[in-house]
Amino acid sequence: MTKSELATKMQEAGAWLPGKRVKIDFGGDEGVLMLDGAANQVTEDDGVADTTLKVSWDDWQALAAGQLDGMTAFMTGKLKVEGDMSNAMQLQGVLSKLKG
């Protein structure tokens, strides 16, 4: 799955937190996804966010597929969280929307 395909799938699933802006930063050339709960949209635009998740594209794919546990990724440094940690915790519910 490409990042654009992921953005489309997340948009269709309503994969954002109401009223919150959460950025997933894949680093390097992979760019970002902005889960904008204020505007109810998912974009590939960078910007200010309440919470930023930093994770490699490969690790994100493993998380989304259920092959990598979010807590394990966080504890081993594969997933870094900047900003409001409670938003990151709520994202587990968002990820579950992608599996359906």
| pLDDT tens column, 16-68 | 999 999 999 999 889 999 999 999 999 999 999 999 999 999 999 898 888 99
Kindly list the structural domains of the chain, giving each domain's residue range(s) and its CATH number in brackets, ordered by start: 3-92 (3.30.1050.10)
Q: How many CA atoms lie within 13 A of 7 on its CB side?
A: 19
Residue 49 CA: distances (Å) to CA of 1, 32, 82: 24, 11, 9
| pLDDT tens column, 55-64 | 999 999 898 8
The pTM for the full model equals 0.91
